[in-house]
Structure 1
């Protein structure tokens, strides 16, 4: 059993805990380094360095080659980091030979072989920026260099005795294995967190070398996008209905093993999100179709509410309880199914159903947008639902989140507001598209008349000039003033110039400076804009100061 590392813990507080740990130890010879590692282990990490990296990566980036080369599953994961790593390697080719961890990330097979020949123990030695074993750097690297092969390095490492179940504990709670790295993807989408370039080959290699097919993090990371080949592959290698989720659950201040069946967890998600073929695969593999969600809804009910009426009937025949729904939920389900005629018939019997649905189930339209249900969206629109309604975010935000370009196009076509900012991140749908790597949605939304901050994000200098020349005060308007919400955000203080600089938009920064943007700005932390430029801005922007 491990302690829960609460978000917000700092290295300062952890260092203070280390001192207390050392004082309370019965071993008077315990060194500070040993105490730090023991504390980290109590939080579920393998070393102090792994815990230190986890804490640091929650809100900052590093100019380290291995950090830039690999997926981190932190908010900083972006394709641009991998590009910076490639540039570093061009400038300094010796990085590929620095040690076995660098060679593994680069895919330099000859160097890996040479190093292992001289010291076989290196095959399992942790090190590098993340304090990982070499196999993890190989599987999480996304450099994708044409002249090198991380797949070939993985073969060598496994042949020389690397553990196919090598892993680290993200946050001390989630088991990120070599297999997890091979399959990739996750909450930030396949553009930001892509699978390994030889994903299937590498996954098979690891599984045949003994990797545990019950890889809960792989199944979690891949469940957001359509498809199921990874489940089929894991089932072929032994994944079954007796396997439980292999991450740790929170129990107060402790972390305890989960008791939930991993296939049941996956089945519930598949039905909730309309991945019907995946759901059938999981049911065939032994997932419990008679289960309910935490609200007591049977899988029949979940599918029915989504508008998957035929599949709901199929689930009922397989053993899912056919629950009776209130009239308003039946109405929503019919709308979601796309049957506008039946929906109108229900509405004729009860003209208050639209108002009741919007009041009691405010996320209904957003759910349809996020699930790619364009047919359902059109029914909601035809019946008078508000498609700009904010429920934390708008349906347009949700459509971008799901990467549903058709939904995004249609919502814009009917006049949905591009400038509304959500309550969670304070961002527009376009900003969501940038953050989530939804490139098609980003490119589509970028072509419209955007507000100043979105225009900066797109480096559209002509549009920036148009806005400022028509309203000079826009130069000093902060993000806080753009947000029609009671919530506060860390970047509320930012003016257009600060926003352009922190987003590394060179042309936009040049344009704003020429238009007379104020440079004498101070952040809430006390840092001036000049300090921020000096400490954090890329050279192209720093040179403008």
Structure 2
């Protein structure tokens, strides 16, 4: 049986209850429980005890012993931070830092702008302490502070309990600062280039590199000196196998085929080595470096990145390697590229020796997604009717993948351009800042007044919230927009 991944923010009490339940079922002879004991216990005792059930539970999650699992949970607790849950402070320096940095949970538009206003009213906040010096890139003041006490470079504090290097790389202020010089000072005085935290208990570390690169499900902006900061951190020893950075700039948020971050990480050893200090701390909870290349190739195939595909194949990514994330559905990269209509990526993978196994319905979906009307017609009306009944959200997927030709073809087959699958196809086009797909949907009769089921916002609300100015301008000018909503 495969190793399971621990749940997010794992609880020792919940794992104890899981072990007790396993013991109860194994003693009762439940086949699934007995199979788990046989698979994961080195001796598979006939009459298991609680210690045996705990050992099996630990090994299910990739830990050699129950003690190792408990130690892991202690590590998670030690490094967990929840910046998005920190309440406002009446202390000016604390409140400034709270507003100045990305939190990956409360990053609404204008939030960091409030920090700029606070700093403009109270300029002394820039040098109030080592953390504000880092967040503002006040290199001269930081040099003096570190000369007085070098230990401040690795101190934890401020509203988020972070090291100064994290406040520096997660800050998003408009006022230019000497960030690279400030970061070099911190590193020269002993700051950890791999500094990071576990966001709300998630085991993928949000590192200083993650902060420098930005991105993610909220399309958070990169640091204004992101590339230079990232190179400095990598040169100082930050591990390039940075799972959260890869997610934020790949599978999470809007997608572009930009490869600059990948080129830099590959230059410093992405896909190689032992995973660095965070994998040493978290062990099997983090993916090994080689698996990260598989995930990246799967992402390039899923989301349509020919530049990324070429780069990853050139650096030894396994053409038929499987990504672990549920979004890949256990598919090979080639299958993902075919099913999402990414013809150029599919051709690159096929040329590299990729294989795929699609059934007839999947082949029909692939033809729809690449906008191949002739191939779709060859399947006949019955197949189209079955797809419409079984997968009405296919038109949403086409919009998410920036495929206006596929949207037009699916609409002609009877798919609803306003299909509400949490959100409509027009919401997807708005979030992607994809004017061409948005225009296609409007021309096909899409209703821009429909609100999504999670936030109660229209497509224009999504565009304005995410700063997608091109689509926002188009939707305002389309003459069919009911008004502005906020997410």
- Give me the TM-score of the superposition, normalised by structure 2: 0.76
Report what 2:416 is aligned to. 386
Q: Is the 8 A contact 1:243 1:262 kept in 2?
A: no
Once the two structures are superposed, what CA deviation does each residue of 1:324-374 show, in whole Å capped at 9, x if it has no partner?
421x33222222222223333x15xx2223321112222211111111111
Superposition deviation, residue 131 in structure 1 = 1.1
Q: Which of 356, 374, 392 pairs up with 1:341?
A: 374
Q: Which of 360, 363, 377 pairs up with 1:330?
A: 363
2:386 aligned with 1:356, yes or no? yes
- In 2, Cα distance between equivalents of 1:456 and 1:221: 26
2:76 aligned with 1:44, yes or no? yes
Q: Secondary structure at the match of 2:206?
A: strand
Superposition deviation, residue 122 in structure 1 = 0.8
Superposition deviation, residue 65 in structure 1 = 0.5
2:473 aligned with 1:439, yes or no? no
Superposition deviation, residue 161 in structure 1 = 2.2
Report what 2:229 is aligned to. 202
Q: Is the 8 A contact 2:368 2:410 kept in 1?
A: yes
Q: Secondary structure at the match of 2:461?
A: helix
Query: Are the structure 2 counterparts of residues 359 and 319 from structure 1 closer, same or farther at C-alpha, using a change threshold of 3 Å?
Result: same
Q: Which of 442, 451, 454 pairs up with 1:421?
A: 451
Report what 2:338 is aligned to. 304
Superposition deviation, residue 241 in structure 1 = 5.1
- In 1, Cα distance between equivalents of 2:309 and 2:222: 22
Query: Are the structure 2 counterparts of residues 93 and 408 from structure 1 closer, same or farther at C-alpha, using a change threshold of 3 Å?
Result: same
- In 2, Cα distance between equivalents of 1:130 and 1:301: 43
Higher RCO (C-alpha 8 Å, min separation 6): 2
Q: Is the 8 A contact 2:271 2:291 kept in 1?
A: no
Gaps of at least 5 residues in structure 2 are 12-69
Gaps of at least 5 residues in structure 1 are 8-37, 249-253, 458-502, 504-545
- In 2, Cα distance between equivalents of 1:394 and 1:240: 37
Report what 1:156 is aligned to. 185
Q: Is the 8 A contact 1:45 1:168 kept in 2?
A: no
Report what 2:198 is aligned to. 169
Q: Is the 8 A contact 2:340 2:401 kept in 1?
A: no
Superposition deviation, residue 120 in structure 1 = 1.4
How many residue pairs match? The answer is 408
- In 2, Cα distance between equivalents of 1:444 and 1:456: 16
- In 1, Cα distance between equivalents of 2:449 and 2:485: 14
Report what 2:350 is aligned to. 316
- In 1, Cα distance between equivalents of 2:321 and 2:399: 27
Report what 1:237 is aligned to. 268
Q: Secondary structure at the match of 1:169?
A: strand
RMSD of equivalent CA atoms: 3.1
- In 2, Cα distance between equivalents of 1:369 and 1:342: 20
